[in-house]
Structure 1
């Protein structure tokens, strides 16, 4: 008798080819579990940048099959990351159209949702469970409203309290909550004051160590990347990823400005986000000549951009401990590059860096200390560059993609 695979519905928000880190992770997760589950993903049309590709502007729904994973894409309006109203309209459109797409599906054995969009991701999972049955697995990549509160994005107590109540309800309804950091398990416990805490487990995010790995300095494509963006013959301090709200970059750029007389150093920002324009304006207003802005790189080219950096920023704003884990850390480590961490003591990313000694860490907000430590690293760059290979060794030992995906499969299946 043929073995019928269990049906798994995944709410992904962003999914490949979008460059959002969660979209890449969920693609690898779904494709890694397709031998065990019949998977359907509900996500937006590619739109992480705020723009929607022309081929996705006609219909409200698009059905695709990507490497044996069924993908239902819902059309959303374009938005600006600097405009709250357009952002909210975009998110609500995804939410309601995802609900409608869910209603048209057959019964499911499992529902898997992530904490994006904030609050709505968890609510989608609850709705999916109620209307399609199955066990609900809630994967919290970022705790909200805690993240919003930490950076002061909203101070409306009614909205924040309502958001907290909704997301706590999603956690309660879930058959299992999966978080991506040890510190995040503490946040979950604190939400429920250590009483009736939902069943939960911690699994690190990962990097595909077969796609990102150390390359020699004389690699032709690394050299070509440096040449393209005028990074040759410089010490390259790189930030690669979302230039958004939760990283305190608008203050760290002021620290970077103190190195404007260093013609031997370049600070490269690769990516986009809601704070990019603010940082660009600061750079222009203060005539910072050694700061470069570079677009997001295609996934196939990420290995070359990451290998181009000598030192990589991995940062979070003050108060983000226990709220999220910067997934850029895993790519930096896999490339064998040294980490310059601005992270709360006891946060998951900092625990990993300190455990394998692949870089240095300073508390967020201590800008004078950050400057002094950064100056020390730059002045002794050849010694500090040697630390990075320890991160690669740690990835190979503890954070391999196949190991993490197997953990997810096991945690989902054990809910039967």
Structure 2
């Protein structure tokens, strides 16, 4: 029997900021979302040229726009200036270049039935979606991965009340203009309702982020590439407590280093930080100043190698700074659970990530800034490192993930929400 090809696909425009090959977690999610919906929609992505690290390759410096096709998804890339993650001005220039370029690129994509954007870059991601809705007379779906200015306020990135008030007004405007708002945590629904004080709350729903369980899965400790990763970064024959992800402002990592310092004389344990970010340099300086010989800093891993780095860790951190509840959900959680690893969670009560860990019983959890209990949890995992307790926690998480948090489940929910608009 010949399979019938769908010829009447609706057209979907996605503003993505970052897209593959960039390693930003939102870019990876959007790649999987787009490719997962390709049978239902004719999809065009508008994003920056590969530049998540701040650098732009020479082949992307010659034109304003670059058209590509990746696995059936049309991609329009906007050239942006290089930037330093530690320099606010250069980052702002980079983000504004994308915003203006994406607005112009909107005229290059033809008719659209749906427009979808995420809350990255902060505020501007939502406004791009509104722009696309107006220009294309399309239905607009706004996916809030992080609430801003709430996130900005939580970590003190800006204390300018005028700017924060303007940010709130614009993002509420984007929510009101959306035909549907999708948040990624149960706690984030309460934040949305709180913004509108429970009245005239925009049409909304909740869909978990996910991990591709076929790309990230448990591997044996003696797997050739897991062993190679450990040897490359001097981790062999150690109990590895790993942090994998963005080394940014939202995770209280600088204070975590103060707790880690108390274990500086333990030669049987190593604390590995895999990734880049705005505070990486200050963490490295802390390590050197305090002679933390059992701390390692490891570069971002290619997505194809992530399975090996995640499996190298014996226990993984899942952290958020105080004030992030209802604002953001750390996407690293899904990768840890997929790799079948136990979790050391530092998360507020009632936050989505903490609810998942507690429901799956796949780790130990305490509240942000409870450094005494964080230290006790490190001691506890070290006491249990030669038992089966931690392995059983990780195994339990993987079993629950396969039931509730796989890619196909979430993508089907997205398709349903798009088609219901």
Normalised to the residue count of structure 1, the TM-score between the two structures is 0.99
Is the CA contact (8 Å cut-off) linking 1:322 and 1:347 kept in structure 2? yes
The question of whether the paired residues in 2 share the 8 Å contact of 1:179 and 1:185 is answered with yes
Query: CA offsets, 1:217-273, max 9 Å, x none?
Result: 111111111111110110000000000010000110111111001000000000000
Counterpart in 2 of 1:327? Answer: 331
1:37 aligned onto 2:41: yes
Matched, 1:377 2:381: yes
Give the unaligned 5+ runs of structure 2: none
CA deviation vs aligned residue, 1:180-204 (integer Å, no higher than 9, x gap):
0000001000000000000111000
Q: Secondary structure at the match of 2:321?
A: coil
Find out whether 1:242 has 2:256 as its counterpart: no
- State the alpha-carbon separation in 2 of the partners of residues 290 and 2 from structure 1: 56
Q: State the 1:2 CA deviation.
A: 7.1
Q: How does 1:135-214 map to 2 (within 5 A)?
A: 135-214=139-218
Q: 2:260 aligns with which of 252, 256, 263?
A: 256
2:418 maps to 1:412: yes
Q: Are 2:369 and 1:365 equivalent residues in the alignment?
A: yes
Pairs aligned (count) = 415
Equivalent in 10, 23, 48 of residue 27 of structure 2: 23
CA contact (8 A) 2:270 2:296 kept: yes
**Contact between 1:204 and 1:404, CA under 8 Å: does it hold in 2?**
yes
Q: CA deviation at 1:286?
A: 0.5
Alpha-carbon distance in 1 for matches of 2:61, 2:261: 42
Question: Which runs of 5 or more structure 1 residues have no equivalent in the other structure?
Answer: none
Per the alignment, residue 308 of structure 2 pairs with 304
2:131 maps to what in 1? 127
Cα deviation code 1:165-188 (max 9, x no counterpart): 000000000000000000000100
Q: Please report how far the alpha carbon of residue 117 of structure 1 lies from its aligned counterpart in structure 2 after TM superposition.
A: 0.2
Q: Which residue of 1 aligns with 2:343?
A: 339
Contact 1:34 1:68 in 2 (8 A): yes
Q: Secondary structure at the match of 2:369?
A: coil
CA deviation profile, 1:112-159 (whole Å, cap 9, x unmatched): 000000000000000000111110000000000000000000000000
C-alpha spacing 1:227/1:160, structure 2 compared with 1 (3 Å): same
Deviations 1:73-92 (A, max 9, x none): 00000111110000000000
Task: Return the alpha-carbon distance in structure 2 between the equivalents of residues 342 and 59 of structure 1.
Answer: 45
> After the TM superposition, which parts of structure 1 deviate over 2 Å for at least 4 consecutive aligned residues?
382-386
Query: Is the 2:6–2:39 contact (alpha carbons within 8 Å) kept by the matching residues of 1?
Result: no
Q: Is the 8 A contact 2:44 2:109 kept in 1?
A: no
Normalising to structure 2: TM-score of the pair? 0.97
SS in 2 for 1:232: coil
Query: Per the alignment, in what secondary structure is the counterpart of residue 133 of structure 2?
Result: helix
Give per-residue Cα distances to partners, 1:328-375, cap 9 Å, x unaligned: 000000000000000001000000000010000010011111111211
- The equivalent residue for 1:265 is 269
1:398 aligns with 2:395: no
Tell me how large the CA RMSD over aligned residues is. Answer: 0.9
Tell whether the 8 Å contact from 1:8 to 1:111 is kept in structure 2 after alignment: yes
Q: Distance in 1 between matches of 2:277 and 2:146?
A: 17
Contact 2:344–2:377 (CA under 8 A) maintained in structure 1? no
1:220 aligns with 2:224: yes
Contact 1:340 1:361 in 2 (8 A): yes
